[in-house]
Amino acid sequence: MKLQTLNLENFVNGDASSRQSFVDQLGSTFATTGFAAIEGHGFSNEERAALTHVVESFFHQSTEDKMRSHLPNAKGQRGYTPFGVEHAKGESKPDLKEFYQWGPMNASERGLMPNVLVPHVAGLDSTVKAAYEKLESVGRNLLRAIALHLELPESYFDAYLNQGHSIFRAIHYPGQEKAVEGIRAAAHEDINLITLLMGASAEGLELLSKEGEWLPIHVTAEVLVINVGDMLQRLTNNKLRSTTHRVVNPPAEKCHLPRFSMPFFVHPAEDMPLNCLDFCITEENPKAFEDITAGAYLHERLVEIGLA
């Protein structure tokens, strides 16, 4: 499947017509497929290469060295989570991955769980910090466009994001000695408002169409793949679609290759209400979700996927 590609520069620095066109196209693709591709995001080839290098350097460490960054009580929200721990909602079999998570760069100042620094991997902390802050800005601009699509004030999400708990996750799917049936990451929907995905190092991402067909996603390494999360779907009472997706195992000739990916999960402040917006509730589209805050919903989902 070829995703619709939008240029974020048209919204951030464009004239009124360019901004409105971006808003309309983003709203339309989020209401149909729930996925899009973004260019004009501000990441250079050199920045992406540097980020990929330090992430791969972390996962190339021995298990013993990686476990130096593991916090048993972090619920997978900070530091290293070993292979075979997280599973998709409704699944008992774990995904074939290990990952590392960073939260807000000012987490300690805000009384949040601090990030686990990795000074023994050269350049990792500073490179991730720069990427996190840039992805945070991209996410804020995308949610401003979404607010305008919903005919809300452009700054509707800003205050919630200023105190948000967004997560940068580096994922490693190890290579396999032989081809195996099944999938690397089982079918799931993301928990957060929106997700920004840096180009993965190997194919495998598929999304589930409205017709129930699994469609491989093919994009260039230069774009960010973005998608709606469950929090935004709840808020808009299914007006914007959180699409089921998965990562499949590689074909036999590529089974030995590892896969790395770097999603950025845009999370609002824990006290943000996810109550369905009044104007998204109609006779034809009755209220589908109970009232809940972002923090309570996050905890509920972390329990479901085995992290809490």
Q: Which pLDDT score, from 0 to 100, does residue 88 have?
A: 85
Q: What is the CATH number of the domain that holds 181?
A: 2.60.120.330
Locate 296 and state its tokens.
């309570």
Residue 138, number of CB atoms within 10 A of its CB: 22
Q: Which pLDDT score, from 0 to 100, does residue 307 have?
A: 87
Which residues does residue 167 pair with via DSSP β-bridges, in sequence order? 265
Q: Please, what's the largest Cα pairwise distance for the chain?
A: 58
Sheet holding 214-216, edge to edge: 183-188, 245-248, 205-208, 214-216
Which residues does residue 195 pair with via DSSP β-bridges, in sequence order? 227, 265
The number of folded domains in the chain is 1
Q: Which pLDDT score, from 0 to 100, does residue 308 have?
A: 79
Locate 88 and state its tokens.
């998709």
Please give the model's pTM, rounded to 2 decimal places.
0.94
Half-sphere exposure of 157 (CA within 13 A, CB side): 27
**How many residues are given for the chain?**
308
Each residue's pLDDT, cut to its tens digit, for the chain (308 residues) gives 789 999 999 999 999 999 999 999 999 999 999 999 999 999 999 999 999 999 999 999 999 999 999 998 888 899 999 998 988 888 888 889 999 999 999 998 998 999 999 999 999 999 999 999 999 999 999 999 999 999 999 999 999 999 999 999 999 999 888 777 668 888 999 999 999 998 766 688 999 998 899 999 878 889 999 999 999 999 999 999 999 999 998 888 888 889 999 999 999 999 999 999 999 999 999 999 999 999 999 999 999 988 87
Give me the domain span that covers residue 300. 5-304
- DSSP 8-state secondary structure symbol assigned to residue 98: E
Q: Which pLDDT score, from 0 to 100, does residue 93 have?
A: 87
